[in-house]
Amino acid sequence: LGLSGPPGAGKSTFIECFGKMLTERGHKVSVLAVDPSSSTSGGSLLGDKTRMTELSRDMNAYIRPSPTRGTLGGVTRTTNEAILLCEGGGYDVVVVETVGVGQSEFAVADMVDMFVLLLPPAGGDELQGIKRGIIEMADLVAINKADGDLIVPARRIQAEYISAMKLLRKRSKVWRPKV
CATH level 2 (architecture), domain 2-167: 3-Layer(aba) Sandwich (3.40)
pLDDT at 124: 55
User: How confident is the prediction for the chain on average, in pLDDT?
Assistant: 83
Mean pLDDT value across residues 82-95: 97
* pLDDT at residue 29 in the model: 98
For residues 62 and 100, the model is more confident at 62
Phi/psi at 3 (5° precision): -135, 125
**Quick check: pTM over 0.75?**
yes
pLDDT single digits (tens) 128-156: 544 457 788 889 999 998 889 999 999 99
74/78: higher pLDDT: 78
What does the pLDDT look like over 3-53, one tens digit per residue?
Answer: 988 888 899 999 999 999 999 999 999 999 887 665 555 554 555 667 799
**Of 101-105, 161-165, 171-175, the least confident:** 101-105
Give the domain ranges of the chain: 2-167
Asked whether residue 126 carries a pLDDT value surpassing 60, the answer given is no
DSSP reduced 3-state for 173: coil
Residue that wins the pLDDT comparison between 115 and 36: 115
- Give the list of residues 6+ apart from residue 16 with CB closer than 8 angstroms, or none: 51, 52, 53, 54, 55
Distance CA 120, CA 153 (A): 9
Percent of the chain topping pLDDT 70? 78
Identify any residues that bridge with 143 across adjacent strands, giving them in sequence order.
119
